[in-house]
Chains A and B, each alone.
Chain A
Amino acid sequence: MKDRVILHVDQNSFYASVEMLGRPSLKTVPCAVAGDPVNRHGIVLAKNQLAKKTGIKTGETIWQAKQKCPQLVLVPPDYRSYLYYSRLAREIYRQYTDRVESFGIDECWMDLSDCPRDDGFAVAETLRSRMKKELGLTVSVGVSWNKIYAKLGSDLKKPDATTLISRHNYRSIVYSRPVEDLLYVGRATYRKLRRVGIRTIGQLVAAGPDFLRTSFGIVGLSLYTFAAGLDETPVASSGREIPIKSVGNSITTRHDLYTEKDIKAVTYMLAESVASRLRDAGMAARTVQVSLRDYQLCNFERQAPLPLASQLCSEIAPAAFKLIMAHFKPGQWIRSLGVRACNLIPLSKLNQESFLPEERRRKAVWQLENTIDLLRGRYGGLAVRRGISLADRSLTEHDIKNENVIHPIGFFGP
């Protein structure tokens, strides 16, 4: 059987490249895109090559980065531009195949098997030159017969390069790489693998599926499949509908929350976005989940069933608030708060006419919340607000629904 032809395209230092495209003088100085420290989002999101040379890493706090490089120029992120250039890049990829699967804003897999142009290396070279000529951005491309090696290939040579990992050269290229280069080998897995003496991908393959299965369970088997190039996960078609399993929003607030009033205001603000997004998706939730992170960066999650499947803020918010207060200990300061609606069912399964007064009241509330959605859609997310949100505007001056950024789903699906 003919091998698949899979490309992984990674846009180099994407946020920083977009900023440098608009202001080329930033190429001459070490520069990083970083969040706003006032809103406690002060970490490095991307950096250019000069900043990289000073040892700055993505995810570092601004003060750590400034210690390494005091001349570092910081630029605030402009997500609108990043989404725009990400869409243009995908438009180019789609001219070669309909199977383009995004992995975050700046990475994509493409499957060229069965396409008229299936010479992966040639397409990769064309893509690179087109991206430079048409968008002014550089990409690294990995070409292989499976998604894992393609991704590994795109990470090997940066920036602006193509790496081909074929059946002939994969042992020499892949097996000598450190095991943490493999997708899904994070810090914890790396530590566990080191404990059993596995440091390279070659050693992982040599360990064999049976040993990995007994040592790490089902994950061990997946790791073996990834490392040996046996992964057969298909590249999803572009525009594929991903079934929604849950809807959630979270926020790191500008200052820690410790009063009931502040917690309530933020919970309602998040629940409003969650409920509105549930209504947009035509789903109702049967469980509400809250996640909290306190000032010591300690996380916990709690969930509770809702008495009736609901897509109303007036039912989700009090349930979430009750759940938080049940587990909130006085003296605890909350840094970050999240509300999630899960255990979803389509609304069509619920739509039974009822003449019970309770159901009629719910219907009226639904209409009210829907009208608020319409007003917000037309005049902005802050056009209609709850009174409670006015107590401390620094906490609630957010249009959560519209600021919501969809993060990439995991490799194993949502």
Chain B
Amino acid sequence: MSRPVFVSVILEMSASGARHPLEITWEDGSRYEITRSLYLGRRAARSAGSGECWLCRICGKDLPLYYSPLTGRWWMDGKGDPEPAPAAQPYKAVKDRGRKPAGA
């Protein structure tokens, strides 16, 4: 199982407009240098969502790093269970303020 871990990223923007992630900060505050990155285009993440994807070499391992232009957030696939599904709410009738009362 995997869950999305949102990370902060230090990014280099080249003169040609290409983006190279240089460093990420994991949720526990530890920082990791990215020694090499390769842009893969759009990819669906194993954990959740889809976005632009870079294959980043971190501590000798090639790991995908995702960016969603929709939310502006960066994330990686982390270990652990995903956030549980919300519980179903019992149906609560909403008073229709507009319904014509009998005899009106």
Contact = CB atoms under 8 A, between A and B. Distances in A.
A81 B90 CA distance: 27
Contacts, number: 83
A256 interface: yes
Looking at A21, A23, A29, the one whose CB has the most chain B CB atoms below 10 A away is A23
B85 to A, nearest CB: 4
Given A25-B82, A29-B88, A136 B50 contact: yes
Given A84-B70, A134-B42, A135-B42, A37 B94 contact: yes
Contact of B49 (A22, A29, A255): A22
B91 A62 contact: yes
Contact of A134 (B43, B85, B89, B96): B43
A interface bracket (residues with beta carbon within 8 Å of B): 35 or more
Interface stretch (A64-72, A167-175, A184-192): A64-72
Contact of B44 (A21, A23, A71, A72): A21
A90 interface: no
Nearest to B42: A134
Interface residues of B, number: 29
B64 to A, nearest CB: 12
A133 B44 CA distance: 6
Contacts of B69: 84
A60 to B, nearest CB: 13
B50 A135 contact: yes
Given A73-B87, A81-B70, A134 B94 contact: no
B61 interface: no
B44 A73 contact: no
Interface in A104-140: 132-137
B100 A295 contact: yes
Interface string B66-104: 000110000000000011111111110110111110001
Given A21-B48, A136-B49, A66 B41 contact: no
B45 interface: yes
B49 A26 contact: no
A74 B86 CA distance: 9
B88 A136 contact: no
Contacts of A79: none
A254 interface: yes
A366 interface: no
A178 interface: no
Contacts of B97: 254-256
A29 B47 CA distance: 17
Q: Give me the 9 closest cross-chain CB pairs, A-B, nearest first.
A: A136-B44, A256-B98, A255-B97, A255-B98, A25-B85, A66-B91, A134-B42, A136-B50, A37-B94
Interface of B: 41-45, 47-50, 69-70, 82-91, 93-94, 96-100, 104
Given A21-B50, A25-B84, A295-B98, 13 more contacts: A21-B44, A22-B49, A29-B85, A38-B94, A40-B96, A66-B91, A71-B88, A72-B88, A80-B70, A84-B70, A135-B44, A256-B97, A333-B98
